[in-house]
Structure 1
Amino acid sequence: MTAPVSGVQVQPIRVLVVDDDPFVFSAMELIFSTVDDIRIVGTVSDGDEAVAAVQRHFPDVVLLDVRMARLDGIAATKALCALPNPPRVLVMTTFDMDDVVMRAIDAGAAGFMLKTAGPEIIAGVRNVHAGAGVLSPQSVPQVFAQVGGNGAAQAGARAAVDALSDRERDVVRLVGEGLSNQQIGAQLYVGEATVKTHLASAQRKLGVEGRVQVAVLATKAGLV
């Protein structure tokens, strides 16, 4: 969600931080102070303040904690994603909350990263803003160890993946392993634009949106 601007000057990525820990605010301000293309436009301390803050600050990306006192990150993500022209939500989490993170992703989060990721959060915000989504490499094994679901869910995921072309299946598998489009292209010996085309086609066939949901389905189907 971007505020109306005049002129042709490229605007920095506008970020709203939603977290009940003042240390996180300080850490995010320090991290983003090292770059010119990302700017924190607001901070709020609970999920029940997020919607009003988005309508006030017009962020492009919301960095959202999962566990908060009044409205948790899952409910806040769902509320934010239901807005007209919603911002992209990047969930910030820790290893011991993996099951909660998966529910947040189901609610519409564009990705997740660890709060301890440090400067990697810069790339995460850029990727989410660009529509690529983000999977924190450190958290992929722990998070996807939690993914599996019941037999029916696994069978449904396998059936969906079977409808993909061989190259689409390769791309989906590598997304599930946390690779970027550039890395996937290098591994498959194709251009990044070709990877994007295959991924977009796979998402249409699978009925999912974003890299995280693709990765979840790939894991349920046993590709990862």
Structure 2
Amino acid sequence: MTRILHIDSSARPGRSDQKQHGSHSRRLSAKFIEHWLAKRPETEIIYRDVGANPPSPVTGDWVHAAFTKPEDREEWMRRTLRESDQLVDELLAADIIVAGVPMYNFGMPSQMKAWVDNIVRVGRTFGFDRTRGDIPYWPMVTGNKSIVALSSRGDHGYGPDGRIAHLNFVEGGLFTPLQYIGITDQFGAAIEYDEFADERTEASIHAAEQEVIGIVDQLLAKHRDVKVA
């Protein structure tokens, strides 16, 4: 059975198609799940709302605990890493990660960055060994996992080859660390013109929703080993 890890990180509650001033990124991630479940209703969905319930940020104690061998960890270290362990377990159990990630000041929300920092874990999602010489790191996440980043932006032109693409640190900020740990199958769609609140916004919403449907169809083919009920 396919498992999808569905993450929302917007500080705005609710979806923009259901609530005034609701979140566009939540709208897109919900659209993905709805379209997927219409085709594969038996899929297991793991939902985590880091926008409403942010993971704890990485601290000095966290780093100390993470870089201590599991067999040498004291009880306080295990407690410190408990939340991170749960987040990593959810990631490793998933075949597809669908993340609603709005643009805040050119990058991802701090809540989403906290999630990234908690799942990039030495010994769990990447390896480290000084005896390997100049390249002591290697990815540890295996399997046919896919990441889908669904974003929203106030301005326009942040996409590839866009007029201000160089100011977009959302997709790169998410895709780069996930590629580093071994998740290289990457997709994205975004709503733009949010601050314009006119026909361009509506056109961008429609285009992004159609793009999401297209991504779902691509991933249904990639994960076609799952039988449709």
Same fold (TM over 0.5): no
TM-score by length of 1: 0.38
Question: Which protein shows a greater Rg?
Answer: 2
Bigger relative contact order, structure 1 or 2, given CA contacts below 8 A and separation 6+? 2
